Amino acid sequence: MSEVSDAIVSLAEMALFFTANGTIHRYSEDDLTYFRHFLPTAYEVLSVRRLSHGVIQSEAMHETLRLACLVFLGLVKRHFRVPPDVVPNYHERLFSLLVTATLDWTSLFSLHLWVLAICGVAAYGEERPLIVAEISRTIGNMTWQDAAAAIKSIAWTEQATPYELDILGQEVRKHQEESGLL
C-alpha cells in the first residue's frame, strides 16, 4: 500500500503547486511546467504495481486507489491538452471496481470521498447518477462544503477541474433533497 500512498502524496504536491501557481492555464509548449511538475508525478503514479482485485481486500483497495490516481492524473493531463485522453479508460475500470468490490472505507472517509469525487467528475451518462447517489449516501448529513474540504485535503486542484467539483456538489445536494436525505 505504500506505493499508492506515495503516489497520492505526489499527486497532492503536484496539485498544491498548480493551485498555488495557477500554471496549468498559462502552460505553453515552450514552458517547462509540464516536464518539471506533471511528468515526474505521472511517472510515479504509472510505476505503482497493478494488482488483481480478487478476493483480498487489500488488493482491491490498492487497485481502486491506483485507478483513482490515474483518473486524477488524466483529468490534470487534459488541461495540458496532451493526447491521448486516458480518462475514459481508467474511469471505466475504476467505476467497475467501485461497483463490484466490497471495500471497508470506515477509517478512510476522506479518501473514500476523494475516490468517489474523482469517479464522479470523470463520469458521464448513466454512471453519473449512481456515483452522485453513492456520494450522497456516504456524506449523509455533512454539508457539501465540508465534503469538498475533505476531498481537497487529499489532492485536488481547481486549475485542472475548475468547476467540476462545484457542479458535482450541486448534483449531490439536489439528489439529497429529492431523496429526502436532507
28-42 confidence digits (pLDDT tens):
555 677 778 888 888
Its pTM stands at 0.90
In the chain, what percentage of residues exceed pLDDT 70? 91
The mean pLDDT of 100-112, rounded to a whole number, is: 93
Q: Characterize 58-89 residue by residue with b for buried, 16 or more Cβ atoms within 10 angstroms of its Cβ, and e for exposed.
A: eebbbbbbbbbbbbbbbbbbbbeeeeeeebee
Domain boundaries, the chain: 2-179
Q: 82 to each of 34, 35, 41, how far by Cα in Å?
A: 10, 12, 15
Q: Residue 99 class from Cβ within 10 Å (0-12 exposed, 13-18 middle, 19+ buried)?
A: exposed
Q: How confident is the model at residue 56 (pLDDT cuts 50, 70, 90)?
A: confident
- The confidence score (pLDDT) of residue 174 equals 94
The secondary structure of residue 25, as a DSSP letter, is T
Residue 96 has pLDDT above 90, yes or no: yes
Q: Residue 140 corresponds to which amino acid?
A: G
Average pLDDT over residues 83-87: 91
**Mean pLDDT computed over every residue of the chain:** 88
CA distance 46 to 66: 9
